[in-house]
Structure 1
Amino acid sequence: MSKVAVHAAQPRAGGSAPSTRPGTDPATRRPYDRWKRLLDVVGALLVLTVGAPLFAAVALLVLVTHGRPVLFRHTRPGLYGELFDVVKFRTMRHPDPDRGLVTDAQRLTRVGRWLRASSLDELPEFWNVLRGEMSVVGPRPHLVRYLDLYDAEQARRHEVRPGITGLAQVRGRNALNWTAKFASDVEYVDRRSFLLDLRILLATVRVVLSREGISAPGAATWHEFTGNDQPPAPSAAADRDAAPRR
């Protein structure tokens, strides 16, 4: 299967924009995209304001159980593959081989599992939404190293902003294989609308309350994407590039 790289990296400073931006063709734009951004800003402001006490409580819990830093930052590709730092609450201890803390399963704490199951670890991403790096609904942002592994169809997931929740998340989250995840992401790109976003948000409440698909079968978090449809070996650390910062 031939691969194409999304032009992903716009350097933090002094760099130039990607030479090609998928999705910039006017035919791929929709009137809803402008309204969607407005709804994202209003929604993010509402959550960040009304949810401030909850943010503070979760931050204190993470500080007590995991220590500093409270937040986990990791570089991910967003709209048109441009890089940004996604922000979450930490759910893992720092790597420490002397204490046997190496793999995701070893580093993930009981509190961290609860934060992931309840999706409370995702709350800081509303700051990414406010900044315009993410949307409330859209394909989840994956690892930068996956960019060179996508085929042309899979790369279309970057034609919209990544989301806190999305079509793949309400269809199974991490329990889905990569083929199904990417198919759902591209389907969202093609079908995006206010009604679809509303349905996804309502379904997200059900998924979070039922705690469906929190981790991939046989993994503490998820399996690595290897660029093909063969089942990959369980990943010891899906975000190992960022392990020291988690």
Structure 2
Amino acid sequence: MTLHTERRPDGVALVTLNRPERHNAIDLATARQLQYAWRDFRTDDTVRAIVLTGAGDRAFCTGIDRSADVPQPRSPYSVDDPLRTVGPKAADLWKPVVAAVGGMACGGAFYLLGEAEFIVASENATFFDPHTSYGMVSAYESVLMAQRMPAGEAARMALMGTAERLSARRAHEIGLVSEVTPPGEATAAALRAAAVIASQPTEPVQGTVRALWAAREAARAHALALAPHLVSLGNLPPADQAARFAARDRAHPYRLR
């Protein structure tokens, strides 16, 4: 299985993206497993809080697996995006989710981070958005990050592409990350926080989560409604995207800030 789920006796479920050899990139099978997992948690009263992380120490998640074949409709008004439904809120799950990030979190990983309640990161965590470097519009990702970061920081991350990465320290300074841990300890810290949340009465916790999301839901829904058109209009043709991705210089240094 490319998604591992562990139900713990303290009411916390640990969900692990389990494709470390692919930097925990999400293929179509993993996208379906995430959808099923979130929906399963909705009716499982033994699960009162969830921690989401990635296997290995190199990456939390690097977004969609580029080998995934996703045919697109011939319309500027529609985009088929398998990551639109991988997050917990897309499944109408209002049990709190804490993300534990180690290593890279980039691009489509923001669909998951954007629907978590808060983020705990190891010191080795980095955040960046490669879309513009590969000839793609960062639409959904930018909307989600703009609701978690100051607008200027969200813009800088989206527009700088692969040239710059946000460190865990800087992510904490701007409020994207709520806690920074030593390397390898983010999941343990997230589990501790989730266990406290799981010990609280379930209905008030879920009501609080729903209230927090209601505060920004209207703006988010409006912005996401524009995303398919922006992607259709702004993306380079798939062949050009693939060429830019294939030509990337893996040894090219990026700036960490």
User: Do both proteins adopt the same fold according to a TM-score greater than 0.5, normalized to the shorter chain?
Assistant: no
What TM-score results when the alignment is normalised by the length of structure 2? 0.29
More strand by share: 2
TM-score by structure 1 length?
0.30
* Larger helix fraction of residues: 1
